[in-house]
Amino acid sequence: MNRITKPLAALLFAAFAMLPLAAAAQIRIGVLVSSTGNGAVVGIPQKNSAALLPAKIAGMTVEYTVLDDAGDPTNTVRNAKKLMSENHVDALIGPSLSPNAMAILGFIAEEKVPLVATVGSDAIIEPMDDRRRWAFKTTQTDDLICAALVAHMVKNNVKTAGFIGFADPYGENWYKTFAAHAQKNGIQIIASERFLRTDTSVVGQTAKIIQAKPDAVLVGAAGGPTVLPHTTLVEAGFRGRIYQTHGAATPDFIRLGGAKVEGTILAAGPMLVIDEIPASNPIKAVTLKYIADYEKLYGAKPATFGANTYDAGLILARAIPLALKSGKPGTVEFRTALRDAIEQTKDLVGAQGVFNMTPTNHHGMDERARVMVIVEGGKFKLLKD
Task: Share the mean pLDDT of the chain.
Answer: 93
pLDDT tens per residue across span 217-234: 999 999 889 999 999 999
Q: Taking 90 as the threshold, does the pLDDT of residue 88 lie above it?
A: yes
Give Cβ neighbours of residue 129 (< 8 Å, ≥ 6 apart).
none
Q: Taking 90 as the threshold, does the pLDDT of residue 2 lie above it?
A: no
Please tell me the predicted confidence (pLDDT) of residue 76: 98
Residues 124 and 225 in one domain: no
* Domain that residue 180 falls in: 142-268
**pTM of the predicted model as reported, rounded to 2 decimal places:** 0.86
Mean pLDDT, to the nearest integer, of 69-74?
A: 97
Q: Is the residue at 225 inside a domain?
A: yes
Please tell me the predicted confidence (pLDDT) of residue 223: 87
What CATH number is attached to the domain comprising 25? 3.40.50.2300
Q: Is the residue at 376 inside a domain?
A: no
Q: Taking 80 as the threshold, does the pLDDT of residue 22 lie above it?
A: no
Q: Is the residue at 276 inside a domain?
A: no
Give Cβ neighbours of residue 215 (< 8 Å, ≥ 6 apart).
157, 158, 159, 160, 161, 240, 241
Helix count and strand count (H, E) for the chain: 12, 15
Residues 81 and 161 in one domain: no
User: Backbone dihedral region of 258: left (phi > 0), alpha (psi from -120 to 50 degrees) or beta?
Assistant: left
* Boundary of a domain, candidates 268, 294, 325: 268
Write down the H helix ranges in 324-382.
332-342
Residues 152 and 171 in one domain: yes
pLDDT tens per residue across span 264-313: 999 999 999 999 999 989 999 999 999 999 999 999 999 999 999 999 99
Q: Taking 70 as the threshold, does the pLDDT of residue 7 lie above it?
A: no
Residues 26 and 103 in one domain: yes
pLDDT tens per residue across span 148-169: 999 999 999 999 999 999 999 8
Residues 155 and 233 in one domain: yes
Q: Is the residue at 277 inside a domain?
A: no
β-pairing, 241-244 vs 216-220, is parallel
Residues 188 and 121 in one domain: no
Cβ atoms of 364 and 345 closer than 8 Å: yes
Cβ atoms of 121 and 333 closer than 8 Å: no
Residues 158 and 136 in one domain: no
Residues 160 and 124 in one domain: no
Distance CA 287, CA 260 (A): 29
Q: Is the residue at 381 inside a domain?
A: no
Q: Is the residue at 357 inside a domain?
A: yes
H/E stretch holding 31: strand 26-33
Residues 152 and 131 in one domain: no
Q: Taking 80 as the threshold, does the pLDDT of residue 204 lie above it?
A: yes
Residues 301 and 230 in one domain: no
CA 225 to chain centre: 16
Please tell me the predicted confidence (pLDDT) of residue 169: 87
Distance CA 194, CA 216 (A): 16
* Boundary of a domain, candidates 268, 293, 327: 268
Distance CA 159, CA 247 (A): 24
Residues 93 and 135 in one domain: yes
Q: Tell me how long the chain is.
A: 385
Residues 154 and 132 in one domain: no
What total number of domains does the chain contain? 2
Write down the H helix ranges in 218-264.
227-235, 251-257
Cβ atoms of 365 and 140 closer than 8 Å: yes
